[in-house]
Structure 1
Amino acid sequence: MAGGDISDLDKNRALVEWLRYQLGRAEKRVQELESAEQAERRRSGRARAEQMWKIQPQRTAKTALLHRGGCGLYTSGALIDREAAISALSEPDIAPCDVCRPETGLRQE
């Protein structure tokens, strides 16, 4: 170290520390972006489900039930579109769910 200059070793140690700091910040940002992306996928999936319907199969003497896609009372089943839901409600053995009231989204406009 001539004349108070910083040695190459000290410069490189400082550089390594700075790069570790930058890497930590970049990794944190990637985690934030991944979390935001996952949350957006969940929101998008819920929004899609809310625009769809599903049918809970008939059990024993009970009638089958039509639910909104996002109804939590019946979480299984494939989603169906508006036309299929309107058709399902016209069937005598399918009734609308009393909780999510899917028929309100099926009124003819």
Structure 2
Amino acid sequence: MVDEAGGIDNLVESETISGRIGKRRMAFLDFMLDLHAKGQLPMEGEGRITLAGQRFALMEEKCILALLMRNLKVKSKLRTDQMRVSAELVIRPLFGNNIRFEPR
């Protein structure tokens, strides 16, 4: 693993040569290398904080959708009999559905 400045590799190499690298430091470095490889922290987890964040995000999405539906008319370019649908877990159009928004 080589970063731009060579910081992690230089740190591991210098402490390994001197023989004073500890288990906690190695665990932290492993975590940082894994984090650097993934590029981001996962949004998975358990607990009240994660659940509150997910519920807040869902409520925010619902508010934006309600605002759009309240202020705009949604019209499909295809009639219902012209649409071809696939019946999976959710019924959805096979070839997509072009819609347009018109102000109310």
TM exceeding 0.5: no
Tell me which structure has the larger Cα radius of gyration. 1
Q: Give the number of the structure whose residues are more often strand, by fraction.
A: 2
TM-score, structure 2 normalization: 0.29
